[in-house]
């Protein structure tokens, strides 16, 4: 049994193992990679830290991969999910949660790998959860007869990690719903916006990843036998379930958004109604005070003023005529 695996973010070779179907995994150090690649009867897994210049140099000079595969493995700007057939193997970019994932959409990382019939070469820039779970699981079950079998376990860990994020998002949506019912709309609006952004990004990563991995499970390369294909299909089915949960979560978030907007609009309408009632109440008072504030002759109870003795009644007539004109002007327009 190997010793417990610790998370290491600063080395060039994060972990290396030679795996066989009838023995515990054999750790491989950076200096032992050349000898390990010459061994037969097992599977070699090498996991590199792309932040290390030494690791990048080994990939470029000693991995034996050509320019096409190296471009995908070393590209720091293109994190699109993809899986491409390459010679007798595959090169892929898969999505995984960063190890210190804090529920931010920007913390979805990229796992880059190449696999063929005898080895998997993977690399990343930030610590990733699913890969770390896989290498910890090697302590309990580290016996593999093929790279496809190891890849199937990695896919299951990827699906489980994403499923946990979806479950946590569901819990947060429950809290947002309680916040809306408590009429704390500002707090609910902010958190709901963050959750919707996260769910949209999860779907954008998971949907193409499921399609890409389905191509892997359906591939007919000679080193993936029927049993391995069945295991790969079973692992990919987990992604189908995760994608269904993400779509349901997205629909629920949209319903909550509509409910929040409806409640905010209802609150605003209530405020406008109160304002309209207050305006109606004070309109006669404003009219009366305006009339008695006119400095024209003939205002009842007010001596003096400018104009003739009938000036007040002329002003009243003009007010009524202007009101009638506006009524006739607005009536055809309803």
Whole-number mean pLDDT of the chain? 82
Using a pLDDT cut of 90, give the percent of the chain over it. Answer: 19
Helix (H) or strand (E) holding 13: strand 13-20
Mean pLDDT computed over 193-211: 87
Three-state DSSP state, 22? coil
pLDDT in tens, 126-142: 888 888 889 888 877 67
Domain edges within the chain: 13-264, 272-329
Structure tokens at 322: 């202007």
Q: The pTM is what?
A: 0.75
pLDDT in tens, 61-86: 888 888 888 898 998 777 888 898 87
Domain 13-264 coded CATH 2.70.150.10: no
Per-residue pLDDT band for 220 (boundaries 50, 70, 90) equals confident
Judged against a pLDDT cut of 70, whether residue 96 lies above it is answered with yes
The rounded distance, in Å, linking the Cα atoms of 227 and 40 is: 21
The rounded distance, in Å, linking the Cα atoms of 296 and 292 is: 9
Three-state DSSP state, 283? helix
Q: Is 43 left (phi over 0), alpha (psi -120 to 50) or beta?
A: beta
Tell me the H-state helices in the chain: 33-38, 53-61, 67-74, 129-137, 147-181, 185-218, 226-292, 311-330
């Amino acid at each position: 049994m190997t010793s417990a695996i610790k998370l290491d973010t600063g080395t060039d070779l994060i972990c290396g193992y030679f795996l066989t179907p009838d023995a515990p995994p054999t750790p491989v150090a950076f200096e032992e990679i050349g000898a390990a690649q010459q061994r037969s009867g097992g599977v070699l897994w090498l996991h590199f830290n792309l932040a290390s210049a030494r690791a990048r140099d080994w990939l470029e000079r000693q991995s034996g991969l050509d320019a096409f595969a190296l471009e995908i493995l070393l590209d720091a700007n293109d994190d699109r999910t993809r899986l491409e057939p390459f010679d007798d193997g595959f090169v892929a970019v898969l999505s995984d949660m960063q190890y210190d994932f804090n529920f931010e959409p920007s913390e979805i990382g990229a796992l880059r790998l190449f696999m063929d019939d005898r080895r998997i070469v993977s690399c990343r820039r930030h610590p990733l959860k699913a890969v770390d779970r896989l290498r910890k699981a090697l302590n309990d079950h580290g016996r593999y007869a093929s790279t496809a079998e190891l890849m199937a376990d990695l896919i299951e860990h990827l699906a489980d990690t994403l499923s946990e994020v979806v479950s946590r998002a569901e819990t947060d949506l429950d809290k947002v719903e309680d916040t809306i019912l408590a009429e704390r709309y500002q707090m609910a609006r902010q958190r709901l916006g963050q959750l919707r952004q996260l769910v949209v990004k999860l779907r954008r990563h998971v949907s193409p990843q499921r399609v890409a991995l389905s191509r892997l499970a359906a591939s007919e390369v000679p080193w993936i036998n029927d049993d391995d294909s069945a295991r790969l299909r079973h692992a990919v089915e987990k992604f189908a379930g995760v994608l269904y949960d993400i779509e349901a979560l997205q629909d629920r978030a949209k319903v909550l958004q509509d409910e929040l907007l409806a409640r905010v609009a209802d609150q605003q309408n209530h405020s406008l109604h109160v304002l309209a009632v207050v305006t109606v109440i004070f309109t006669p008072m404003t009219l009366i005070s305006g009339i008695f504030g006119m400095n024209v002759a003939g205002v009842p109870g007010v001596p003096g003023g400018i104009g003739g003795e009938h000036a007040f009644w002329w002003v009243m007539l003009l007010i009524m005529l202007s009101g009638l004109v506006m009524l006739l002007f607005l009536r055809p327009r309803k």
